[in-house]
Structures are given as structure tokens and as C-alpha cells.
Amino acid sequence: MTSRDGYQWTESSGLVKGVPSIGVIQPPTNIKDEQAIYDVIVVGAGYCGLTAARDAALSGLKVLLLEARDRIGGRSWSSNIEGYPFELGGTWVSWGQPHVWREISRYDMRNELEISHDYSRGVNHFSLNSASGSRNMSHEDEDRLMESALNKFANVDGQHGRTVMPFPHSESYSPEAAKYDKMSVADRMEQIKDDLSPDEHTVLLGFVLLCSCSTPEKTSFYEYLHWWALCNYSYEYCIEYLIKYKFKGGQSSFAINFFKEACATGRLSYAFNTPVATIKDNGSDVQVTARDGKIYKAARLISAIPMNILKDVAFSPALIPGKLDASNREHVNKCVKIHAEVRDRDLRSWSGITYPNNSLMYAIGDGTTPSGNTHIVAFGGSHNNIQPEKDINKTMQALQTLTPMDIERVVFHNWADDEFAKGAWFFSPPGLVTEHLEDLRAPQGNMYFANSDWAVGWRSFIDGAIEEGTRAALAVKRDIDRTRFAHL
């Protein structure tokens, strides 16, 4: 089946909207009783919503899952183009991410992982393109350069951040750590500018801004330190945890297992292509009205809606001020993720950073397609004026600026212009996390709020989404049980 989401381009087809994916759900609904009242409605079928719906159904609750898109996965989904999974959103997983690894083990997918990078053949080098010129270096030299720069960046305490953030999975943060949330990446760069070589400066910003897909001024230094702490305070583990292991069949091959298990309980109803307009907590129940006017009711509700679009749904009672302020401010990641299938097979072992003079700043060889071509994945941000669906030729030029390549196919999803996300994975501006994390996590009456955007551990990652879905489903089950037992 083909989703409405995503785009692909080939010379013969031109730019085409919609990408085939095994995550598209048919039929789009299984609701038989339009007047049914559920135990819980889950809004959103990304990993958080899928986890919440599955766990709630397994616990014996009657569940309704509502999703605006025609597919599961939210901001993590993969294509199935001629049998190849281009990852349109979240991609990489690791056994260092505990919730993800639990689910990989649950679905017996431990042998379904592969390594993104293959340095056994081809050019086997890293390209560094900066304002001072362009050159290639070995991946060993790339690692040494990156490690030196990132260690200097994170070393706020003489221990590479270990004493500032010793428990990155904690819900609380010390005043010492919180002060760094007032700082931007630009602020930290100013502090260490004299300690960085020109090459270190370029690769540092290229890597950190790959994490946020924003500008140094808008990127929270604290949030980067949180990522760094989760990655064992080292560049080596950043690569291990963030950008090394992925599913051979794509993220949708993982997500579909959550959905199938929930369906198998017989307690999951669902409706896709169902954007939500209003959510009203009446005290005795929660009423959800879709854009098409259909009304759904349940005792409780789990909103798995991303932070940037919470403000677009009319809640009654209104969202508490902290939730609304966070949504109005928005997180800063406006990533545009571009995949290129290229005929240059030697680029399988290539990677590169081009900063600051290109709208795509970071790219790697990320796979081999069934035809033997190389798959390149590149990252940029809408602040760099890249909008591939409006100007595919400019996007092709940006790919060529990274390194010369013979392009056969381009595949992408512009998350910045996605009305149901308004951004890619969460990355905060200065101040937002320490000011509003507790607000975002707080329930309101019969409404519970869960999303990777405000996970405690791997915030913004698939692992964080599963963490949050697990938390919300358990909280709702306990709440409903308390209510039922109170009436016995």
C-alpha cells in the first residue's frame, strides 16, 4: 500500500507524492459500533501510542486508537520501494536503549538488525567541506577529530559531563545541570572558541547541529549534554547508540508487531485517516470529536500528540499554561531528511560534513539497494531554506555539494511542513526542558499525556516513545481499577 506521506523522485517519474510502506493500515478502520464507549482512547499511532494501546489492551481494557495518518509509526516509518526500506523518520536502535531492546527481544527481532556503515570497500573516507576549503581524510582521522572536539565541548566539569549529569534517566536535575539549559550551543561555543582548531569547530557544529537540525543560537546546550550522558559521555558510544544499527526491513517492520499484538487481543478498535479536532473531559468521561464530525467516548484518554501540535487541538478544559507555552514555543528540530539512491557504488563507505555553506550538512553511506546501488542519507534543516518538494533541483545540487554523485532516486519526508508533526525528533531551545518537562508529563483530570518529546530517558528517540507509552498505559489501568474498586 502507498501512504499519502513522503515523496520520491526519479528521472522517469519526476517528483511523486506518496511512498509505499508496510505501515499503511487497511482497512483504515475496524469500528463496528459507532456508539461504543471505551475504557481508553489513544490519540496517535506512533511508537508511544502503539505501546500505550497494546499495553492497555493486554491489560484487559477496551481501547480505541485514533490516528490522523493512513499509517502507523508517526515520526518513525519506512518505505517499501522495490523491496528497500528508506527510513523516512527515526531509524537507529541499540541494545543500549533499554525499552527498545526489550521490544526487539519480545518480537524476536534481534537477528533483524544490520550495521549502517560498511567501510570494507569503496572510497572509505570522510569529506570535510568548510569555509576554509575541502579535503578528505580517513575514518580513523575523522574519529580522532570528532572525539577531540566533542570532548572539549562537553567537558564542563573536568569529567566530560559525568558529575553534572550522573543519572540521565532521572526525572529531576540538579541546579548545576539546570543552569546549562539557559545556555545555547552558541554560548558554549563562545566559551571554548580558543581551544578549538578550525577543523574541530566545523565538525563539532556539524555533529551537534545534526542532533538538533537547528541553529547554534536556538539549540539547548543542556539537551545536548543529556544526549551525551545517555551515550556514556563518549563519541564512540554516540556512534554506537545513535547511528549504527537499524532494521533490515525498516522501522515499519518493527512497529507493525505492536499493532498486530494489540489487534490480536480482540480489544483494540481503530480508525486511521481520523485527525482529531477537539478533546473534552466531561468529568465522567472524555469526548473526542474528529475533524469529520464523528464523536468518540471513553472513560480515559491518552494523548500521544507531539508537543509542537498540542496547541492545534482544542482541549476542554484548556491545557495547563506550561503545556500550552511549551507547544507555542515549539521544539527547534525542523529536519528535512533526504535519501539518495546513487549509482556510485564506491560511496557505500563515504561520509561527510559540509558546514556552513550548504543546506545539507551531514551525510553517510547507509546501505546497498537491491540493484546494488549505494543509499546515501543526508540531513538538513528548513532554516537552511531546503524544501525539496518545492525545488527538487536545489535539493539535488545540495546533494552534489556534499560529494559528487550519480543520482538515480531521491526519497524524503519534509517534517517541518508536516501538519501532524511540525518538526522531526524533539530537540529543545534553551530553557524549555527545565521549565516545562514536569508540565508536559502531568495528567489533567481523565486525560493523560505521553510522547517521546518529554520522555525522561531517551527523550526524542523511539526508546523514549516506548517508555512514555508504557508509563501512560499503566497509569490509566491503575486509575480505572481504583475507580472500579471504589464502587464495589
Closest to 425 in 3D by CA, of 344, 358, 334, 292: 334
379 is an annotated ligand-binding site residue: yes
Closest to 247 in 3D by CA, of 422, 101, 436: 101
Residues 397 and 377: their CA atoms lie apart, in Å, by 15
330 is an annotated ligand-binding site residue: no
DSSP 205-242: HHHHHHHHSS-TTTSBHHHHHHHHHHTTTSHHHHHHHH
67 is an annotated ligand-binding site residue: yes
Pairing mode of beta strands 268-271, 63-66: parallel
Cα four-point dihedral sign 434, 218, 225, 161: negative
Q: Please name every residue paired with 17 in a beta bridge, in sequence order, or none if there are none.
A: 7
Pairing mode of beta strands 126-130, 351-354: parallel
Cell 486509575, residue located: 479
Q: How far is CA 9 from CA 13, 94, 380, 395, 406, in A?
A: 7, 31, 18, 11, 14
Residues 360 and 421: their CA atoms lie apart, in Å, by 21
Residues 439 and 430: their CA atoms lie apart, in Å, by 16
Q: Which contiguous run of DSSP H or E holds residue 42?
A: strand 37-43
Structural contact between residues 392 and 9, judged by C-beta atoms closer than 8 angstroms: yes
Those residues with Cβ within 8 angstroms of residue 144's Cβ, 6 or more apart along the chain or in another chain = none
Query: What value, to the nearest 5°, has the Cα angle with vertex 61 and ends 59 and 65?
Result: 110
276 is an annotated ligand-binding site residue: yes
Those residues with Cβ within 8 angstroms of residue 278's Cβ, 6 or more apart along the chain or in another chain = 287, 288, 289, 313, 314, 315, 316
Annotated binding residues, written as ranges, equal 67-68, 276, 379
Binding residues for FAD: 67-68, 276
Annotated binding site for substrate: 379
